[in-house]
Chains A and B, each alone.
Chain A
């Protein structure tokens, strides 16, 4: 499946048809979507907000309302999933790898409900698992960062030291090293509890410490914590790199680019597919080739990206899609070839 903006009009056209077809259909095809966000909350300006954006876009285009829920604690994952499934919501979308076990528990009890899990693979007949090639997108922003850096020292601030975040870091370092083999990448993780995804103060401190060590480009993969990273970078007049959503607007001129992870597209398409009766299950991998990840260029950063940088990153993009560059995925073997 190709996930592009060009799909928009076709989908909108099909939507009308879909509505007519599903009006009298069985429960399984009825559209009544629900989204459950992860602990970061729906306005983390990052990962969870991207899912919110996708759901909002669906609501605006179709006029179909959806329900959503923000977790208070880890124990509520199964409860929320079961609750929405029992209420007849379809599809039920959860965002985050932490839902894996809850999904394995709940999905078999509701065979007629369509479930979507993002960032995790759950192998069940009524679950669509959407995973992203974050390492490819991180590689691209690494290329841009290495070219923008004058000191040759770059930074990375992650949320928690977990495999998913190491995947971001590893792709980023590979991109940096491919562009400037002499570069140094400073890496820090914010914390060891869930609070690490929502701790902008600590994010800012880590970014300042990296800036003191000479870093002049800092990429974050830390959810809400990243707000502090980008703020610190802007305060010191160096570059930050956003993640998941397009964060270029937050500090125009100081956010070099953002690594886009189109969670919004995954959420939107899942809702649309149920509505149109085009629902499929199984694993959907969204990489560069599928436009599932990428880098952001808009009016806020077009002055920062030189023609040379643009050429380099587009070349890298082309070669990754063509398979000429293989970006190593940390999660496949738990190691990273570069540091």
Chain B
């Protein structure tokens, strides 16, 4: 955070400028392959926000990214780089599936709390091992968490192929959860209120994601633990001097982070797929890193960034439908440009903007 910038410029202006640059670069790529960039952008926007169908899908994807983004953001506050969201989410999925398979003859009001607890426990347990290793043995969480991603995915394949698979079925997936474990979809909930909405996978987990973001804000800025986490993240020696135990903070932060990442499975496994399949995480754990970077590790920023990435996912799919010349690899390029400009090249814009504001100190101070 630079003192030269007013807060609104730091939180809104710079991300907006980065985004504009990213779309400019992406537009050039679209021109390069001989397509109309204006049409591409309009398909992307219309496809992600233009109808209740589009918005539903966008927010469904965004919900997943809120959970994984918050997971990374919480760890960032303690100066930890948890890139194991993918593995923690996989474990969360296993927890959710076990809870749902066990309780799916009851009611979703029973299944949902059980699934939340199971996901959080499994995800936290998965993050605990790298956390304890980092706290007591000094092994770097970047290395250990990413290795745990591979172990988690091997565990998932083993369980789905050998234990949880429906006997005789070709596909490695669990049986479909029974009616009792189906979360209410947003379109049915809104339907009860008399608001029409197209059928989309968006479900009640989206509200949980908002609660999670609020909870994260309270935790980081309104609790003693949050203060300790931030103090530790700013300076470990200072935190130790203040009597904060690094071992405790590292382990606790990793537990919370892992549990948060695992909760994405509530949206995908319980809310939408209603069974556990391979690859259900679809890279959401890694997208969470970009979301946290772009959202400045602030829960509100994470929600906004998650919506942007939801738009890119949903709009990107529409782009591939509407303009076949833009292949899926092109869409990855466009998404990557957004991440590049908003995350890695963020300083490129910050310098000139800071100088601009420095020239007008009087106004910036007000």
The reply to whether B328 and A74 form a contact with Cβ atoms under 8 Å apart is no
CB-CB under 8 A from B272, the residues of chain A are 75
From the candidates B57, B153, B316, name the one contacting A192 in the complex (CB within 8 A).
B153
The reply to whether B176 and A72 form a contact with Cβ atoms under 8 Å apart is no
Q: Is A318 an interface residue (CB 8 A)?
A: no
Once A161-B161, A192-B157 are accepted as A-B contacts, the answer to whether A101 and B176 lie under 8 Å apart by CB is yes
Once A72-B316, A79-B317, A192-B156 are accepted as A-B contacts, the answer to whether A119 and B170 lie under 8 Å apart by CB is yes
Q: Mark A46-88, 1 if CB is under 8 A from B, else 0.
A: 0000000000000000000001111111111011100100000
The reply to whether B171 and A161 form a contact with Cβ atoms under 8 Å apart is no
CB-CB under 8 A from B282, the residues of chain A are 73-75
The reply to whether A72 and B328 form a contact with Cβ atoms under 8 Å apart is yes
Q: How far is the CA of A246 from the CA of B272 in the complex (A)?
A: 39
Taking the closest CB of chain A, its distance from the CB of B364, in whole angstroms, is 42
The reply to whether A73 and B154 form a contact with Cβ atoms under 8 Å apart is no
Q: Is A7 an interface residue (CB 8 A)?
A: no
CB-CB under 8 A from A39, the residues of chain B are 279
Count the A-B residue pairs with Cβ separation under 8 angstroms: how many?
Answer: 83
Q: Mark B190-209, 1 if CB is under 8 A from A, else 0.
A: 00000000000100000000
CB-CB under 8 A from A119, the residues of chain B are 170
The reply to whether B279 and A74 form a contact with Cβ atoms under 8 Å apart is yes
The reply to whether B275 and A101 form a contact with Cβ atoms under 8 Å apart is yes
Stretch in B114-122, B233-241, B249-257, B319-327 with 4+ CB within 8 Å of A: B319-327
The reply to whether A162 and B176 form a contact with Cβ atoms under 8 Å apart is no
B contacts with A, residue count (CB < 8 A): 37
Q: How far is the CA of A70 from the CA of B154 in the complex (A)?
A: 26
Q: Is A108 an interface residue (CB 8 A)?
A: no
Once A67-B324, A194-B279 are accepted as A-B contacts, the answer to whether A97 and B153 lie under 8 Å apart by CB is no
CB-CB under 8 A from A4, the residues of chain B are none
The reply to whether A100 and B328 form a contact with Cβ atoms under 8 Å apart is no
Q: How far is the CA of A109 from the CA of B177 in the complex (A)?
A: 20
The reply to whether A69 and B321 form a contact with Cβ atoms under 8 Å apart is yes
Most chain B Cβ neighbours within 10 Å, of A74, A160, A164, A332: A74
The reply to whether B150 and A74 form a contact with Cβ atoms under 8 Å apart is no
CB-CB under 8 A from B278, the residues of chain A are 74, 98, 160, 162, 193-194
CB-CB under 8 A from B283, the residues of chain A are 73
Taking the closest CB of chain A, its distance from the CB of B43, in whole angstroms, is 13
CB-CB under 8 A from B144, the residues of chain A are none
Once A101-B173, A164-B170, A192-B157 are accepted as A-B contacts, the answer to whether A74 and B332 lie under 8 Å apart by CB is no
The reply to whether A83 and B321 form a contact with Cβ atoms under 8 Å apart is yes
Q: Is A8 an interface residue (CB 8 A)?
A: no
Taking the closest CB of chain B, its distance from the CB of A32, in whole angstroms, is 14
Q: Is A331 an interface residue (CB 8 A)?
A: yes
Question: Taking CB as reference atom, which chain B residue is nearest A70?
Answer: B328
From the candidates B150, B171, B321, B332, name the one contacting A100 in the complex (CB within 8 A).
B171
Question: Taking CB as reference atom, which chain B residue is nearest A193?
Answer: B153
Q: Is A222 an interface residue (CB 8 A)?
A: no
The reply to whether A101 and B171 form a contact with Cβ atoms under 8 Å apart is yes
Once A72-B316, A72-B331, A73-B282 are accepted as A-B contacts, the answer to whether A163 and B275 lie under 8 Å apart by CB is no
Q: How far is the CA of A193 from the CA of B150 in the complex (A)?
A: 8
The reply to whether A70 and B170 form a contact with Cβ atoms under 8 Å apart is no
Once A74-B280, A98-B277 are accepted as A-B contacts, the answer to whether A69 and B320 lie under 8 Å apart by CB is yes
CB-CB under 8 A from B275, the residues of chain A are 101
The reply to whether A192 and B171 form a contact with Cβ atoms under 8 Å apart is no
Once A70-B327, A75-B268, A101-B173 are accepted as A-B contacts, the answer to whether A161 and B157 lie under 8 Å apart by CB is yes
Among A92-126, those with CB < 8 Å from B are 97-98, 100-101, 119-121
Q: Mark A118-157, 1 if CB is under 8 A from B, else 0.
A: 0111000000000000000000000000000000000000
Q: Is A41 an interface residue (CB 8 A)?
A: yes
The reply to whether B328 and A41 form a contact with Cβ atoms under 8 Å apart is yes
Q: How far is the CA of A41 from the CA of B290 in the complex (A)?
A: 25
Interface residues on A, range: 20 to 34
Taking the closest CB of chain B, its distance from the CB of A333, in whole angstroms, is 8
Q: Is B172 an interface residue (CB 8 A)?
A: yes
Among B170-228, those with CB < 8 Å from A are 170-173, 176, 201
Most chain B Cβ neighbours within 10 Å, of A72, A121, A194: A72
CB-CB under 8 A from A160, the residues of chain B are 157, 278
Among A185-212, those with CB < 8 Å from B are 192-194
The reply to whether B154 and A120 form a contact with Cβ atoms under 8 Å apart is no
Taking the closest CB of chain B, its distance from the CB of A176, in whole angstroms, is 24
Taking the closest CB of chain B, its distance from the CB of A77, in whole angstroms, is 10
CB-CB under 8 A from B153, the residues of chain A are 192-193
Question: Taking CB as reference atom, which chain B residue is nearest A83?
Answer: B321
Q: Is B52 an interface residue (CB 8 A)?
A: no
Q: Which 10 A-B pairs have the closest CB atoms?
A: A73-B282, A192-B154, A192-B157, A192-B153, A70-B328, A74-B279, A97-B170, A72-B328, A194-B279, A97-B171
Q: How far is the CA of A160 from the CA of B331 in the complex (A)?
A: 26
8 A-B pairs in the complex with CB atoms less than 8 angstroms apart: A72-B316, A78-B201, A79-B317, A100-B171, A101-B273, A162-B161, A192-B156, A331-B168
Among B150-172, those with CB < 8 Å from A are 150, 153-154, 156-157, 161, 165, 167-168, 170-172
Q: How far is the CA of A75 from the CA of B316 in the complex (A)?
A: 13
Q: How far is the CA of A162 from the CA of B268 in the complex (A)?
A: 22
Taking the closest CB of chain A, its distance from the CB of B208, in whole angstroms, is 18
Q: How far is the CA of A76 from the CA of B268 in the complex (A)?
A: 12
Question: Taking CB as reference atom, which chain B residue is nearest A41?
Answer: B328
Q: How far is the CA of A307 from the CA of B280 in the complex (A)?
A: 49
CB-CB under 8 A from B327, the residues of chain A are 70
Question: Taking CB as reference atom, which chain A residue is nearest B273?
Answer: A101
The reply to whether A72 and B161 form a contact with Cβ atoms under 8 Å apart is no
CB-CB under 8 A from A75, the residues of chain B are 61, 201, 268, 272, 282
Question: Taking CB as reference atom, which chain B residue is nearest A99?
Answer: B171
The reply to whether A74 and B170 form a contact with Cβ atoms under 8 Å apart is no
CB-CB under 8 A from A76, the residues of chain B are 317
Q: How far is the CA of A79 from the CA of B324 in the complex (A)?
A: 16
From the candidates B172, B173, B268, B317, name the one contacting A72 in the complex (CB within 8 A).
B317
Q: How far is the CA of A108 from the CA of B321 in the complex (A)?
A: 22
